[in-house]
Amino acid sequence: MSEHAVTAKQSLFTPFNVVAGLIVLMGAVLTVLRFTGGLGAVTNLSDDNPWGIWIGFDLLCGVALAAGGYTTSAACYIFGFKRFHSAVRPAILTAFLGYALVVFALHYDVGRPWRLPYPVFLSQGTSSILFEVGLCVFIYLSVLFVEYLPAFFEWQRMPKVRGFLVKLTMALTILGVVLSTLHQSSLGALFLIVPSKLHPLWYSPYLPVYFFISSMFAGLSMVIFEGSLSHRYLHHKMDQAYTSEHDGVMLGFAKAASLIMAGYLAVKLFGLSMDNRWSYLATGYGAWYLTEIIGFVALPCYLYAVAARDRNLGLVKRAAALTVIGIVVNRFNVSLVAFNWQLPPEARYFPSLGEIGISVFVVTVGVLAFRFIATRMPIFHAHPDYPESH
């Protein structure tokens, strides 16, 4: 065996690859169990609790954290912040994979996954918010796929198709913003139908507004978070333009996220006031609500502001991580923790190990797909044939 072959073999068995391989193996086993034994074989879902972490985490968190696609492309192409241009492709790729994995995870969650296209093509429930969400996710995933394709065609050296798709950029960006506005808010609107099941501190007629505003800073924070991880592990794939713009992107997004989070806090305060929910703050659920609002919104908002003022990139990264965790906490609270809050503990839902395993598997597939694409296609660098694309 040559020295080169030995090195290649060694480099394949890195700690990351071994852990990812084990998770994929576990996911494959759980997938077989799920599709041969049904939902009951791997989940704690029931008719009383039909939505578990595959909705609360894979779908609600996945869609919110994939919002970086529309926020970044809107900032660059619609609002004219061209200094954020190098962040657009990584953000679009993250969003595309995020939405693709949402649909992938839905195949595990719905009882008959082969009927997923039915609501769009065969039986349109036009009075249902869930239909609107499904339709928007279907169209927006297609939009993100087309937005991502120029990088693929640059990699495959197909300039004509690539050139045609690049001309669609502005139209796709506008379509992306419209579709995201619709379905990010509608995911919150899904819970308007359960005022008696959702705790009053989390239930509000303004839930769609909360979900939409929080998706904006979730997306910005995810771009910062993903960018800092990529900067660490995929630095060798980045060109001069990307690395020189990176700090400006981080600080600009930190400032924007801070301002949006301040607005979100204000709207949440107005919601509490309009619904006269103050008395609930003195309960156990109130303590958890205040933890979410102060610890995972107000604190990162302040950290972002200080970081943007002091041009402190380390603090920006920490605030982004805290915000991403905060979004997960918020979506979990709405869909799981504060949901069915009046039921006795034994009737409440808690995810099984199988459900957690599938969610970890889905995230791992996303990370592997991101790494596969980012190490081969011009995501963090301009293709030599198209130096202006960055």
Partner 1 sequence: MHATFTSLHDLMVHTKGVTYALMGLVLIGMVGFWLFLSGREQDETTDDHGHGH
Residues of this chain that bind partner 1 (CB under 8 A)? 255, 258-259, 262-263, 266, 269-270, 273-276, 278-279, 305, 308-310
CB nearer to partner 1: give 259 or 360.
Answer: 259
CB nearer to partner 1: give 247 or 310.
Answer: 310
CA quadruple 40, 44, 49, 51: dihedral sign: negative
Structure tokens that stand for 18 in this block: 């071994």
User: Nearest-CA neighbor of 91 among 212, 227, 248, 183?
Assistant: 227
Residues facing 198 on adjacent strands: 339
Shortest CB 72 distance to partner 1, Å: 20
CB nearer to partner 1: give 9 or 309.
Answer: 309
Phi-psi region of 277 (alpha: psi -120 to 50; beta: other; left: phi over 0): alpha
Q: Which residues contact 167 (CB under 8 A, 6 or more apart)?
A: none
Q: Are 382 and 389 in contact (CB under 8 A)?
A: yes
CB nearer to partner 1: give 27 or 271.
Answer: 271
CB nearer to partner 1: give 51 or 280.
Answer: 280
CB nearer to partner 1: give 171 or 266.
Answer: 266
Shortest CB 306 distance to partner 1, Å: 9
Shortest CB 181 distance to partner 1, Å: 22
Shortest CB 263 distance to partner 1, Å: 8
Residue spans of beta strands (DSSP E) within 30-104: none
Q: Which residues contact 201 (CB under 8 A, 6 or more apart)?
A: 272, 277, 280, 281, 285, 286, 289, 338
User: Nearest-CA neighbor of 49 among 359, 337, 292?
Assistant: 337
Shortest CB 273 distance to partner 1, Å: 4
Shortest CB 164 distance to partner 1, Å: 40
